[in-house]
Structure 1
Amino acid sequence: MARTSGAETREKLLRAAEEVFAAHGVDGAQTRDIVRLAGQSNPSAVQYHFGSRAGLLDAVMAGRLARTEAVLAPALAAVEARSGAAGPELRALIGVLITAEATQLRDDRGRRCLRISAQLTHESGVRTRTPHPTLAGTATWRLIGLAEDALAAAGLPEALRLERIDLALTLIGAALADRARQYLDGVRPLTYEELFRADLIATTEAFLLAPAAAPYP
């Protein structure tokens, strides 16, 4: 029997982790189930290849982000090139982000990863302006900064800008994860793909640009 290389074992663990994290949740997934699904007999395989369960999860998300960045980075560069001195419009930024993220809906691997990443949007670091290590230096993080600039130009105070962007990422992640779940379960969505994306872009923009309200009495 041919021996499996380290790279092959690592890839098998990543694919198994995507499936188990998506099915059982980030908190509910068991490392032993990932190892078993990957066809590994060594219970320490995750620790050997990724250092820890958290390291495996980070690797899953780094791979998912790399696939999205391959679409997002050139699209964002094009939007910036077309924009004036004031910077890109918020709607264009939201459109680039959602369009790039929605490419993960094309196959089961991307759909599983959307279900996983939706559980982790609170770890982005937006509220403290300290990006999660997987986001540091990415086009995604640059887009977040440009979105904040657009909200500042619209007159929103800093605290509201950061909170709204963080919540908008949660909204986008939840919407895409729900769509992914429907595809994985074989359920026909209520809306076709183009309408889904267009409505999510418009809804996110409306949420971000809503006038600042006075405190409720």
Structure 2
Amino acid sequence: MPRRTASEQGPSTREKLIRAAEEVFAEQGVHGAQLRDVVRLAGQGNPSAVQYHFGSRAGLLDAVMAARQDRTERVLAGLLAADGSPEATAPDTPATARRLLTALVRAEASELGSTRGLRGLRISAQLSHESGVRTGVPHPTLAGTAYWRLIVRLGDCLPALPRPLRLERTDLVLTLVGAALADRAGQYLAGTAPLTDEELFLADLAGTSLAVLTAPAPGPGPDPTT
């Protein structure tokens, strides 16, 4: 009797655990989720299945985020190529920042089209400050990606800002985009009708993010002694 291929055998235990973790982390929160619920939902009898396949909760979470990053990376690469790769070729101007932010928002929003993507958005919004932007060292799942190169390029479009403020501003924008998309994802999962259609929502999110990113640096405050 011929052996079945991996695709014919169905999802591997590792893939089952990743899919289950996406559901549990999205519903219970990254830090509140119980690994035993992940194992049970994945149909595994061994309570140590997560440790065996991923080493730890953090390893499982990294695998969940890596799967999501792979999906958005493919979309982002296509958007940048269609726009002439402004991340690499265009001058550092607000117009370049606008194109980069639009590509970023559109790539992230591609996750709104599936239940798996909706859950991924809910999870990643809880991890926005772990990207590595504030230190300039990318999280391992972002190292070498078009996504990370885009983030760095966004900072380069803010030459008038001191580097610490530039890093904080970029991190803030990523948090804003992540939170807005996670909120939208939550509405879709709950069957709630959003206030705006998706096209308007995405255009406004890109525009709002650009306004935050390119706002002038605050001047000195009033002298409290006067």
Answering whether residue 36 of structure 2 is matched by residue 32 of structure 1, we say yes
Secondary structure class of the residue paired with 2:46: coil
Matching residue of 2:142: 135
CA distance in 1, matches of 2:112, 2:10: 29
Cα deviation, 1:28-80, whole Å, max 9, x if unaligned, reads: 00100000111111001111111111100000000000000010012223434
Matching residue of 2:57: 53
AA of the residue aligned to 2:145: T
CA distance in 2, matches of 1:131, 1:185: 33
Q: Structure 1 11/81 Cα, relative in aligned 2: closer, same or farther at 3 Å? A: closer
TM-score (structure 1 length as normaliser): 0.93
Q: Structure 1 121/85 Cα, relative in aligned 2: closer, same or farther at 3 Å? A: closer
TM-score (structure 2 length as normaliser): 0.89
Matching residue of 1:16: 20
AA of the residue aligned to 1:99: R
CA distance in 2, matches of 1:54, 1:126: 19
CA distance in 2, matches of 1:34, 1:139: 31
Correspondence 1:167-186 to 2 at 5 A: 167-186=172-191
Matching residue of 1:204: 209
Matching residue of 2:161: 156
CA distance in 2, matches of 1:127, 1:49: 31
CA distance in 2, matches of 1:209, 1:81: 21
Unmatched 5+ stretches in structure 1: none
Matching residue of 2:218: 213
Cα deviation, 1:155-196, whole Å, max 9, x if unaligned, reads: 122111100000100000000000000000010000000000
CA distance in 2, matches of 1:109, 1:85: 34
CA distance in 1, matches of 2:76, 2:221: 39
Larger Rg: 2
CA distance in 1, matches of 2:144, 2:28: 31
Corresponding residue to 1:90 among 91, 97, 102: 97
Cα shift at 1:11 = 1.1
**Residues 76, 143 of structure 1: 8 Å contact kept:** no
Cα shift at 1:6 = 9.8
AA of the residue aligned to 2:29: G
Matched residues, number: 212
CA distance in 1, matches of 2:220, 2:23: 43
Cα shift at 1:216 = 3.7
**Residues 89, 150 of structure 1: 8 Å contact kept:** yes
Cα deviation, 1:112-162, whole Å, max 9, x if unaligned, reads: 00000000010011111000000000000000111111111xx12211110
AA of the residue aligned to 1:210: A
Q: Structure 1 33/208 Cα, relative in aligned 2: closer, same or farther at 3 Å? A: same
**Residues 125, 131 of structure 1: 8 Å contact kept:** yes
AA of the residue aligned to 1:118: A
Matching residue of 2:3: none
Identical residues among aligned pairs (%): 66
| CA-based RMSD | 1.8
Matching residue of 1:41: 45
Answering whether residue 195 of structure 2 is matched by residue 195 of structure 1, we say no
**Residues 126, 165 of structure 1: 8 Å contact kept:** yes
